Amino acid sequence: MTIPAERGGSADVVYLLLLLQIGFGLLAMVGELLFMANPLYAIVPVAKAVTLFVVATKVVSGRRWAWVTALVFEGLSLIGFWLSLMAGLLPVLSRTVTLAGLITEVAIPVTVIYFAVRVLLTHRRPRPAKLTRLRRPVDPWPPDPLWTDGLPVGWPQPIAPQPVAPQPLAPKEVGR
């Protein structure tokens, strides 16, 4: 099901926010690759960027599943931020909260969640109508016998059956 979208509406805003989040994520990936020197650190950010790009393009085209996916994805991102913040309270781990981190991990997900919930609530799927009584089925074949009519012109027409009268039995000839 598609959700109608107006130019410059919620879909365009969410599209731009998701592209901004993709850009910040790829920039953070480049910095991580420079310091860690291990290409395995690029797998998750690239997969996230590709997924967010597909979702962003489908949000603009009005796909309902894309709105739901954006809502779930950003909700998981927000939960991940809070779990990471809680883990940062342990003395062994440290968590540095920066302005860019707050924008990409809190502000953008909260805004996308707000727009997704608003769009999904205003464009609900229509509920099926109450069950109504169905009409009686119409028999496509008339109850008249086949030989009365109905065959196309030029086809051999069947002959109506003739009543058969009982024939008297012939006397038996004896002795021959």
Question: Per-residue pLDDT tens for 42-91?
Answer: 999 999 999 999 999 999 988 889 999 999 999 999 999 999 999 988 88
- Range with the poorest average pLDDT among 26-30, 36-40, 51-55: 36-40
Residue 39: per-residue pLDDT: 87
Residue 71, SS3 per DSSP: helix
Q: Tell me the pTM.
A: 0.66
Residue 106: per-residue pLDDT: 94
Largest Cα–Cα separation, the chain: 128
Percent of the chain at pLDDT above 70? Answer: 77
Residue 147: per-residue pLDDT: 46
Residue 72: per-residue pLDDT: 95
Question: Residue 158 — very low, low, confident or very high, per pLDDT cuts 50/70/90?
Answer: low
